Amino acid sequence: MSVFEKNPVLKAVFDFSAEDTARAEDMKREKIVSLMEEGRAVLLGNPNHKNVKPVLVGGGARVKVNANIGTSPLECSPEAEFKKLKIAEESGADTVMDLSIGGDLDAIRTRMLSMTRLPVGTVPIYAVAKRYADKGRKPEDIDMSEVFEEMEKQGEQGVDFMTVHTGIDLKGAYYGDKCGRTLGIVSRGGSMLARWMLKNGRENPLLTDFDKILNIALKYNITLSLGDGLRPGALSDAGDAAQWQEVINLGRQAGEAAARGVQCMIEGPGHVSLDLVEAQIKGIKSLTGGAPLYILGPLVIDNSPGYDHISGAIGAAAAVRAGADFLCYLTPAEHLTLPDENDVKQGVMASRIAAAAGEAAMGRKSALNIQKKMSQARQKLDWEAMKEAAVDPSEIDRRRKTHKDKKECAMCGEFCSVKLQH
Amino acid sequence: MSVFEKNPVLKAVFDFSAEDTARAEDMKREKIVSLMEEGRAVLLGNPNHKNVKPVLVGGGARVKVNANIGTSPLECSPEAEFKKLKIAEESGADTVMDLSIGGDLDAIRTRMLSMTRLPVGTVPIYAVAKRYADKGRKPEDIDMSEVFEEMEKQGEQGVDFMTVHTGIDLKGAYYGDKCGRTLGIVSRGGSMLARWMLKNGRENPLLTDFDKILNIALKYNITLSLGDGLRPGALSDAGDAAQWQEVINLGRQAGEAAARGVQCMIEGPGHVSLDLVEAQIKGIKSLTGGAPLYILGPLVIDNSPGYDHISGAIGAAAAVRAGADFLCYLTPAEHLTLPDENDVKQGVMASRIAAAAGEAAMGRKSALNIQKKMSQARQKLDWEAMKEAAVDPSEIDRRRKTHKDKKECAMCGEFCSVKLQH
């Protein structure tokens, strides 16, 4: 059976978007189908998300960038998050995740889905955990069947992809929590599930009932993003038993998902020293059969709060070069507070730069062509042409406003090396 | 003859600073001497720079960061540059270069030397070119003996290191200017010299009279920074004949300098695709006998004006891992205008992050220790301890001001993964 026979909703999504996708990715339609068939690429798009513009991730498609937005219990302004959604979109994000954990989550989510054509992702366990927290109850009290119900509801609402922490098991939770990690478990969902398992002495229901998740995903073509609840949150924790224990599970589940025609991606680290990035990415890719890899960073140092978009961009560029497909942005606010509007823009830009750097390093034609266009424009001191090639054209106008009558810029003035050649 | 016998001024500088340097670098005194003997490390410090705090560069010393400041013909406010000097210092720069090309250059330079204990670098040809430009004359009109005179004067004033473009020769200038580069020559000094050579049909006097430069350097222990006038300014120009032609010359000159006991560093690129960074750094290091390598970027993409500190940090981290010793910062203003105060800070921080990432990747103990301290503090949600380990402690206070009474941060609130483990 083909992937389209197993997953007819995906076929419907593909049929209405194939032409645009093929053009955007400069890929033949047949190539895209075969990548999806092999589970090496996914097409993000739930038909219940009205006007969604499906996005291809993996298999050599352009590397995509996701922006995380959403309320927190301490900073809860839905309007501010809607504004950030617009800014993420304007800055060139390919997808957004609504990670809200404060306020009326259903209202926020459905509003975001109606506001944007970009695929929207969520982490359904957050909504469940919030309901319990609102009643003064703890993560270990959660009735996990509510997570499946939440997934179903959010699928119906139109959520395009969902993080589910299906790979963290009792042994992994024990490794991550008790076996000498510097920083333990740093994933919110992973931490909730680890606590649930360790307090209740029971296996992770998202793992034992993985089949239920597949059934829900199939109904709405929800792309599963298999979460890395045990990702390292410190350089000194990278590559330990906890981490790989989970990746092994994720690899098995990716195979099961592919067999059922369910689209799935794998989530990756985290905090990883630059010398280990390639090994991590290739290791995860090989354990998960080449499924699209969606990474958060990796941050190559731990001590850069306020500048984590930069530490993350260094790791992400190396990761893209090694095979990562999808970058979750990090903003300057990471580890400190919710990002503000400017942080969202800075985060998207840093990720887009990392993606471009990685793609140029792989010799991808489209990535090299735009660099060449930029340099050709620079050689002519043609600022309008530079704006067409720049990752953020607005910066050129903003920074040149005082001397825009000049051909050269205000750094060198008449000593401009390019002008000296003319 | 030992390096101290050949260069007694260096001996004097070393003698008064050796204890501090050994402690700062966690290196034995004998080790430092032997690195200088081999030309693999240099001690920046001209005794005429009152109160200078000498800085060791190369040979496994902590990777250093330089901040470029200085006026331009279009943005000429000495006071603003003095302020930037202070900000660079506060942000953790190890050295500054005064690249002023507007206003009273002697006044600006001597004021900067009196303001800071950090080693100060310059590019003497700028002052000469400005004198000619002020009289309406062109770079090809320059009497190059004035460059040697300018070096002598600036050595007397106390300048600690100077960029001299001694490696660009007539053949290299021809390659760089006429042989199909996308962006030609992008170094200001390189561009002036190329124009001088090509218009006058004569060889570069800084190359033919290299010995004169060595004599001046010896008098003041000026560390020569052999400039890469032909560095690539576009990804598509990296690694071409022009670039390597110059590096070959620089390698020969580094040998000549070492034979005379003159301290010298090599300047490196530029714009280089991430896949070529390691080959570039190792290639330059091997052609120049392991002399300290001082790099500008490398920028791993061309089209990120407004964010070049990020593209530069990606390249610099990879370069440090491959052996680069000294990072010249790039600011968000690069390619667009002079940096403002905030740009200076952002540039220094991005370079410090790249240096730390590269050092952590090399497994350097001091670099790994500080990361571990940060993560241990994070595990305890101990914000004061985090501030001690962070590259910029002020960001922690600035961003946490609204919720500083809470143990957790405002990103996750009660859903803090670390708190869930407690």
Interface test with B, best of A375, A380, A381, A392 (most B CBs within 10 A): A375
* Its pTM surpasses 0.95: yes
The dihedral formed by the CA atoms of B189, B191, B196 and B201, expressed in degrees to the nearest 10: 130
What A28-37 contacts at long range (C-beta under 8 Å, 24+ apart), as own/partner pairs, is A32/A56, A32/A59, A33/A3, A33/A4, A35/A59, A35/A60, A36/A3, A36/A10, A36/A263, A37/A2, A37/A3
- The CATH code that applies to domain A60-363 is 3.20.20.540
pLDDT at B341: 98
Residues of B in contact with A177 (CB under 8 A): 421
Q: For Cα atoms B274, A356, A84, give the angle at the middle one, nearest 5 degrees.
A: 135
Alpha-carbon gap: A178 to the closest alpha carbon of chain B (Å): 10
**Among all chains, which residue has been given the structure tokens 């560390």?**
B223
Which residue of A lies nearest to B391 if distances are taken between CA atoms? A304
Residues in A closer than 8 angstroms to B372, CB to CB, are: 182, 234-236, 302
Q: Give the pLDDT confidence score for residue A414 in this predicted structure.
A: 87
In this structure, which long-range contacts are made by residues B360-363, counting pairs with CB atoms below 8 Å and at least 24 apart in sequence?
B360/A235, B360/A273, B360/A274, B360/A300, B360/A301, B361/A273, B361/A274, B361/A275, B361/A300, B361/B317, B361/B320, B361/B321, B362/A275, B362/B320, B362/B321, B363/A275
pLDDT, tens digit only, all 422 positions of chain A? 999 999 999 999 999 999 999 999 999 999 999 999 999 999 999 999 999 999 999 999 999 999 999 999 899 999 999 999 999 999 999 999 999 999 999 999 999 999 999 999 999 999 999 999 999 999 999 999 999 999 999 999 999 999 999 999 999 999 998 889 999 999 999 999 999 999 999 999 999 999 999 999 999 999 999 999 999 999 999 999 999 999 999 999 999 999 999 999 999 999 999 999 999 999 999 999 999 999 999 999 999 999 999 999 999 999 999 999 999 999 999 999 999 999 999 999 999 999 999 999 999 999 999 999 999 999 999 999 999 999 999 999 999 877 778 888 888 888 899 988 77
Q: Which residue has the higher pLDDT, B403 or A366?
A: A366
Q: How many CA atoms lie within 13 A of B285 on its CB side?
A: 22
Q: pLDDT tens across B123-182, in order?
A: 999 999 999 999 999 999 999 999 999 999 999 999 999 999 999 999 999 999 888 999
Give the minimum alpha-carbon distance from A185 to chain B in angstroms, rounded to a whole number.
Answer: 7
Residue in this structure with the two tokens 């900000």, named with its chain if needed: B87
**C-alpha to C-alpha distance for A331 and A24, rounded to whole angstroms:** 27
CB-CB under 8 Å, A410 with B386: no
**Angle made by CA atoms B352, B358, B359, in degrees to the nearest 5:** 85
Confidence tier at B405 by pLDDT (50, 70, 90): confident
Contact (Cβ atoms closer than 8 angstroms) between residue B312 and residue B350: yes
Asked if B133's CB is within 8 angstroms of A411's CB, the reply is: no
Residues of B in contact with A185 (CB under 8 A): 417, 420-421
Query: Can you give the length of chain A in residues?
Result: 422
Q: Where are the domains of chain A?
A: 60-363, 366-421
- Examine the pLDDT at B422 and tell me if it is beyond 80: no
Give the model's pLDDT for residue B200.
97
- Measured in degrees and rounded to the nearest 5, phi and psi for residue A171 equal -65, -45
Which among B102, B139, B310 has CB closest to A420?
A: B139
Task: Give the number of other Cβ atoms within 10 Å of residue B319's Cβ.
Answer: 31
| Separation between Cα atoms, residue B65 and residue B266, nearest integer Å | 15
Distance, CA of A285 to CA of A279 (rounded, Å) = 10
Contacts of A8 (CB under 8 A, 6+ apart): none
State the pLDDT at residue B419. 87
d(CA A79, CA A84): 9
Question: What does the pLDDT read at residue B126?
Answer: 97
Q: What is the token pair recorded at A108?
A: 């926020």
Q: Is the CB of A390 less than 8 angstroms away from the CB of B184?
A: no
Tell me what pLDDT residue B402 has. 75
Across the interface, whether the CB atoms of A374 and B337 are under 8 A apart is answered: no
Mean pLDDT across chain B: 96
Whose CA is closest to B325, among B266, B373, B278, B283?
Answer: B266
